[in-house]
Structure 1
């Protein structure tokens, strides 16, 4: 029988954790203490990052309504980042954002929904010179802080920009960068998508990938299906021995789990993510749950969809409360026909759902409206406001 206060610590302010907080605004047990450990300010909604790059919105206009959500959920926000986990002692070691002394956050239940990151050491080993010469797409906050410098450079002279990656993040980034430089930069800038040996849009259906290739050609964005071997001040070295000369190499490969996970006894996948079961629960530590870039599920044909879909957040909210109450957990099964919306700049987008396909300006407006709704804080429960709680 459970007694006393149960301490739930949420590391990261990702969409699944925001869904957990939204659930707590409707039902928050009195003996559940919830703490969110996440760096300030509130995160930019990830799907809107390309719109910020393209100049449609400012980063601040795309931040999620985190403070109000925490107030309504009766949860505490500790601004900072995780340094390490003591799973035996059930403590999170954290560095506060204000630079003060390190903190220890005790927990009974722990959940991870961290922002995507880039392992700079691993990147440097794979692409020598990247640490000094390349701009990484993740973490988003750092990237968006540096992107305006690239735009300033483009206003002074035409630039050659190489986006390295083959997935949706790289594709949306190169489209957004092209639109921004066409609008604000001097004429003559050149953009190249370097697939780094991967299949262009390989995670998407072949006919959708074909649409992407046609759109890249329509917007005069070059595509090179070459593996990268290093980065110098002159440009990107390719496996075929050539040098792609460019002013700004942007690395936009797959989102990665935080490096501090590798120092924990958690069962990890090859990429450093927490191995989770169908309940989004660590396969080695039952009190730990994980979703998003920090998690890897190997029992499903589409492991990324199994950990990052919107439905994953709803299931995580249910399972954390079920674990708290000692009730059975619910398995998470991703949608068999996930909806994909891929931005091709702010004026065009491609959508795919099962066998259905759509493309054009109206798809871009539909995607934009849907993503903007995600940045708004949920309304308080009926009869209550934040000021009365």
Structure 2
């Protein structure tokens, strides 16, 4: 990680590892803001690039070819990576609520989590359809589906719901890959049947007539049956029904339509559109809260509505990073206007692609090679990272939003002596430790419930006391996870002696900084440690910082 010698004054928290946020991380890595710390919260350590997913499905790319290593990119940017799922935002307390860890405080927040399929709107779709979005979980769903299809005996019917660019491209990529796999296994590829459904009267409705004609001909030549003008109304275990009453016996159903925002956004108080997407202004700040930004599929730029396409998320990376930087420095954000026409390169699965921009249409194998070159150059920006020199500049108190933060920053630097002068203040410790809930034991007379200079414990007659101490530098930038690891490591030495863990004292070194940032680091780290200690029946009774 690109460690800084400066105290942290402002926390920018990024929810989701989407295309916009990888751009933010790269730009902050190349030009960091003194006193500003980035934290990325994401369920996965690798995020897929949507432009190359059809090629991955078709078998042209490996997993590494189409995924950006978020842990490597975050380390390059000097950002913390917290692996967890966000389930809410407490705007009053300025906290991000996670599923499996303590809340994460923020000064500035950005949301780039893509969209989720609204399969719940159609009877049976949740139980019997495979959603393509969100794309960060696509690989596991695809590998599971591929295994089922490859091991299927006899005729096989696959239905894809959604005939936009994503649905058409995925259908052709899957068909190309599966026919090849069946031929390799000596099976008849003609037993594979694909059907494409959409409520619209035409495929690729946002593209020009020439592009639609190319894909209509391709689908027909490849034997894909297209069903338009009637929405899918019900999905059963092996059957799909449309609103006009048509039914189709199916083995698999993929869902590439009806995307929307996650349900937890409705509890944030942020302004949302009818699809559950966050309404944002031209600066990518939410209409409701200037300290919260949003980009990519999850954002609806109300003055410039555009379709949900990866090209817009990529293009929003630069203005989002610039406005996050400006907002952190107390400067006004600048408006961003997306392009009215954009280049779409849509593949047919067999290393053939169509270029679409406004009324322009070009097709051929050379277009696929062009697309491949563009995509690989894009991925190289985030996976082929240069070495960075550490920045040891003095803290920029201009990043502070008021004189109190600036004075705290100066105090944090002045505090960097050794011994007792380097202790974390009692007020900070009281607040951080006051939220912890270590277990209670009758043999602990004085512990965290009545903190003093030292803890007092009783030792039952006939028992011996085992003492151990561990101390090592953090090897991970997530203090909560490090706290869990450290506690497990220390308990292991007790268990190795055949002893029962009774109590624990903690020795913790935390980065210097303003009180609120130090308090959060202590709380996150000790929360992880106390969870592990409590599980072992061991009470935290005190310690030193």
Query: Normalization by structure 1: what TM-score?
Result: 0.90
Which range is displaced more, 8-17 or 361-370?
Answer: 361-370
The alpha carbon displacement at 1:229 in A equals: 0.8
Q: Are 1:36 and 2:40 matched, yes or no?
A: yes
Change (3 A) 1:114 1:207: same
Structure 1 distance, partners of 2:130, 2:27, is 37
Hey, what does 1:237 align to over in structure 2?
241
Hey, what does 1:351 align to over in structure 2?
355
Hey, what does 2:103 align to over in structure 1?
104
Structure possessing the higher relative contact order (Cα contacts under 8 Å, 6 or more residues apart): 1
The alpha carbon displacement at 1:67 in A equals: 2.5
CA RMSD of aligned residues (A): 2.3
Please point out which of 59, 77, 87 is paired with 1:83.
87
Change (3 A) 1:230 1:259: same
Which range is displaced more, 49-58 or 310-319?
Answer: 49-58
Q: Alignment partner of 1:375: what SS?
A: helix
Structure 2 distance, partners of 1:305, 1:237, is 28
Gaps of 5+ in 2: 1-6, 393-545
Show the 5 A alignment for 1:1-389: 5-96=9-100, 102-119=101-118, 123-124=119-120, 126-155=121-150, 156-157=152-153, 158-185=155-182, 186=187, 187=189, 188-197=191-200, 199-225=202-228, 226-302=230-306, 304=308, 308-376=312-380, 377=382, 384-385=387-388
Structure 2 distance, partners of 1:71, 1:264, is 30
Structure 1 distance, partners of 2:326, 2:79, is 18
Hey, what does 2:457 align to over in structure 1?
none
The alpha carbon displacement at 1:326 in A equals: 1.8
Structure 1 distance, partners of 2:262, 2:206, is 23
**1:45-65: CA deviations, max 9, x gaps?**
122221222122233432113
State how many pairs are aligned.
376
**1:197-250: CA deviations, max 9, x gaps?**
464111112322222212211222110013111011231111121211111011
The alpha carbon displacement at 1:304 in A equals: 4.0
Structure 1 distance, partners of 2:338, 2:369, is 26
Gaps of 5+ in 1: 97-101
**1:281-309: CA deviations, max 9, x gaps?**
10011101001121112212536469934
Q: Given that residues 208 and 352 in structure 1 are in contact (C-alpha distance below 8 angstroms), is that contact kept between their aligned partners in structure 2?
A: yes
Structure 1 distance, partners of 2:136, 2:280, is 27
Structure 1 distance, partners of 2:106, 2:391, is 29
Larger radius of gyration: 2
Structure 1 distance, partners of 2:305, 2:28, is 31
